[in-house]
Structure 1
Amino acid sequence: MTQVEANPHMMGQQKTDVSMENISRPGQPTTEELVPSRYAVKIGEIEVLVISDGVLPLPTKMLGHNVDAAERAVWLENMFLPVDAFDWALNAVVVRSGAQTILIDAGLGLDPELNLPRAGQLVKRLESAGIDLASVTDIVLTHMHMDHVGGLLVDGVKERLRPDLRIHVASAEVKFWEAPDFTHVNMPPGFPDALRAAAKRFAKEYHNQLRLFDEEYEVAPGVVVSRTGGHTPGHSVVRVVSGNDRLMFAGDAVFAVGFEHPDWFNGFEHDPEEAARVRVRLLKELATTGELLVATHMPFPSVGHVGVDGDAFRWVPVFWDY
């Protein structure tokens, strides 16, 4: 497995000349952010680029609403994290397999009602990585939560996408959002309405581009999307396989706390008990195969392996390769 540079030359991007002359001064226009926002990995012959859509601040209760606040506080303190609010990473992935350029999930977009200025960075960061929206042949949605479809609803984005774009999503997911059930979630106020509105608008605006699958579909050579359910009825994961190398993009099936506490319920899970079963099954599989894992809400760049630690699991981030 070969890892390549974090910010430089994958997908047509030339390496930046890092010097004092290239550092923005007050009053100068800024062309580069002073934070890493993309990280490239080679899976055999397939190129994978993890892109940060920013971070989403949420109450820490969202990490495990079925456990006592004191128990959550212990985990947070052990991780040197604040006990009241937690910055959830938002990661999307671009995959190049053969002639296809595949975007997996589309970020949060811009919802003025929620006031989340540190998120919704995907389109800007795709451009910074040298990826033209018109070059994307396929989009795979792990599910239709707002932070996975919102980037497609930003003004001007649809017009920049190719007319023959294919958007792959599980048929069970589309059906669920026709009349979504929020009875088992534990979200902050405003989120259910925002999620419902974003999914409805997405389905209306992109229905002609949708390519539905039931359980599994090969999007491109070595790129397979599979429905897991749990987080939402149509939640799916994407496996990238080339030669002896493998990577799974697990969407929202795996969260940072889920390695030590896979039975903790995430506030956005529509079927938390099934989501926990899915999480354990995937983590066992990843620990057995040793393949790479990337997930939406793991800290950027979210590339690592899964180890087994007694009755729990262990996250093993890769060494940053640059």
Structure 2
Amino acid sequence: MSPLEARSLTNTTLEPAPPGRSAPEELVPSRYAVRVGDIEVLVVSDGVLPLPTTMLGHNADAADRAAWLDGMFLPTDAFDWSLNVVVVRSGAQTILIDAGLGLDPDLNLPRAGQLIRRLTAAGIDLGSVTDVVLTHMHMDHIGGLLVDGVKEQLRPDLRIHVAAAEIKFWEAPDFSHAVMPQGFPDALRATAKRFANEYRNHLRPFKDECEVAPGVVAERTGGHTPGHCVVRVASGGDRLMFAGDALFAVAFDHPDWYNGFEHDPEEAARVRVRLMKELAETGSSLVATHLPFPSVGHVAIDGDRFRWVPVFWDY
């Protein structure tokens, strides 16, 4: 085990599994722990999702997009989006924030959908999860709960917190402003419908804000989807925001670039600028679904530009 992985496993009472339970192909750490006052936070990687680079900014000039990718030492044809999920323990509650992609054989995404096995490797029993918060109902945030055998392991009194506007949106979703690869709209629609049907009795809709546990608050932002929310964690003067899909790696340099999965791209741009200004002013830590794992960092402002400041790994 590398020093980095040792740090990521021992900084929390969310105990790791005994040696040997992690798959041998795991050559890099897939979980990273931080503390927010008295609250434990564990970032878990669900893998990566390769997508065309146009998804980073479909309203941007192709040359500008290629220049940004070249400056980041990234390929210009396809980009691996990290898929990060968060487990929070506050008092007696264990809260899963988003649930990863799951396993959709029709999409052929073998490097994603790792969450359930990585929770097991981290020693986290699905039956211990008291609450789930969904930042939104795109399939890479709900699919893990649809994996065969998962629902049977969950508590019968599990509470799933999601904005009411999100549930309403997926009854008849509008993709007219999104720009997605072929097959994705149908997969998103089908997955959301299946999820709503299977977990209807567990849903706890909220309008604008919901206190899930002491120091853990979900707040609807809209933009990416009508019911998209962020989750704020606060304890003992420390603060962390899980921003879901409000922020992507390119957003710090180009907040006006539209992401292909945004259902209201203009509002999504306003939301991410507002959130980045807030994060810069407060100094709160940031974690987001698609920032490079473990995605823990801060936002700074240089003149009229934002800057992503990753934390130094602590181990």
Q: TM-score range by the shorter chain?
A: over 0.9
Question: How far, CA to CA, are the matches of 1:12 and 1:244 in structure 2?
Answer: 22
CA distance in 1, matches of 2:138, 2:188: 6
CA distance in 2 between partners of 1:16 and 1:60 (Å):
39
8 Å contact from structure 2 (residues 47, 112) kept in 1? yes
Cα displacement (A) at 1:8: 3.1
Equivalent pairs, count: 310
Give 1:5's aligned residue. Answer: 7
Deviation of the 1:217 alpha carbon = 0.7
Match of 1:186 in 2: 179
- Superposed CA deviations along residues 204-225 of structure 1, whole A, max 9, x for unmatched, are 0000000000000100000000
Matching of residues 301-316 of structure 1 within 5 Å: 301-316=294-309
Shift of 1:31: 5.3
Listed one character per residue, the Cα deviations across residues 30-58 of structure 1 (whole Å, up to 9, x for unaligned) are 45722110000000000000000000000
SS at match of 2:9: coil
Please state if 1:242 is matched with 2:244: no
CA RMSD of aligned residues (A): 1.6
Match of 2:253 in 1: 260
User: Which residues of 2 match residues 1-322 of structure 1 at below 5 A?
Assistant: 5-8=7-10, 10-14=12-16, 30=23, 33-322=26-315
Shift of 1:234: 0.1
Q: CA deviation at 1:13?
A: 2.1
Q: CA–CA distance in 1 between the matches of 2:23 and 2:120?
A: 14
* Runs of 5+ consecutive residues of structure 2 not aligned to the other structure: 1-5
- Contact 1:91 1:297 survives alignment (8 Å): yes
Separation in structure 2 between the aligned mates of residue 198 and residue 60 of structure 1, nearest angstrom: 24
Percent identity of equivalent pairs: 77
C-alpha contact (below 8 Å) 1:307/1:315 kept by paired residues = yes
The code of the aligned residue for 1:239 comes to R
SS of aligned partner of 1:172: helix
SS of structure 2 residue aligned to 1:7: helix
Q: In the alignment, is the contact (CA less than 8 A) between 2:137 and 2:192 conserved in 1?
A: yes
Partner in structure 1 of residue 3 of structure 2: none
What is the distance in 1 between the residues matched to 2:298 and 2:42? 17
* Residue aligned with 1:319, SS: coil
Q: For 1:44 and 1:15, how far apart are their aligned partners in 2?
A: 25
Deviation at 1:197, TM superposition (A): 0.3
Runs of 4+ in 1 over 3 A off after TM superposition: 14-17, 29-32
Q: Say whether the 8 Å CA contact 2:119–2:125 is kept in structure 1.
A: yes
Cα distance in 1 for partners of 2:184, 2:286 equals: 28
Closer, same or farther in 2 for the Cα pair 1:94/1:299, shift >3 Å?
same
Contact 1:64 1:267 in 2 (8 A): yes
Paired residue secondary structure (1:34): coil
Structure 1 unpaired stretches of 5+: none
Look up the SS of the partner of 1:101 in the other structure: strand
Which piece of structure 1 moves more, 4-13 or 268-277? 4-13
TM-score when normalising by structure 2: 0.96
C-alpha distance in 2 between matches for 1:315 and 1:269: 21
Q: 1:88 to 1:239 in 2, by over 3 A?
A: same
| Code of the aligned partner of 2:252 | F
Give the residue type in structure 2 aligned to 1:10.
T
